[in-house]
Amino acid sequence: MEVTERIDRAIEEGSEIILVIVESKRYVKASLEILKYLTERAEGVFVTLNRPYSSLKKLMTKEGIDINKIIFIDSITRQLGGEEVDSERCVYLNSPDPTQIQMAIEQTMDRIFTENRFIYIDSLSTISLYKSFETLLKFIRYITGKIRIKGFIGTIFSIEKEIDDIYYSQIALMVDEVIEVNGK
CA proximity to 75, closest of 42, 35, 102, 57: 102
Residue ranges of the domains in the chain?
A: 3-163+170-181
Q: Is the peptide bond before 123 cis (omega within 30 degrees of 0)?
A: yes
CA proximity to 109, closest of 144, 84, 158: 144
Q: Does domain 3-163+170-181 have CATH number 3.40.50.2300?
A: no
Residue-wise pLDDT tens for the chain (184 aa)? 699 999 999 999 999 999 999 998 999 999 999 999 999 999 999 999 889 999 999 999 999 999 999 999 999 999 999 999 999 999 999 988 889 999 999 999 999 999 999 999 998 877 766 667 888 889 999 999 999 999 999 999 988 887 778 888 899 999 999 999 886 5
Q: How crowded is residue 164: how many other Cβ atoms within 10 Å of its Cβ?
A: 11
38 close to 67: Cβ distance less than 8 angstroms: no
Q: How many CA atoms lie within 13 A of 58 on its CB side?
A: 5
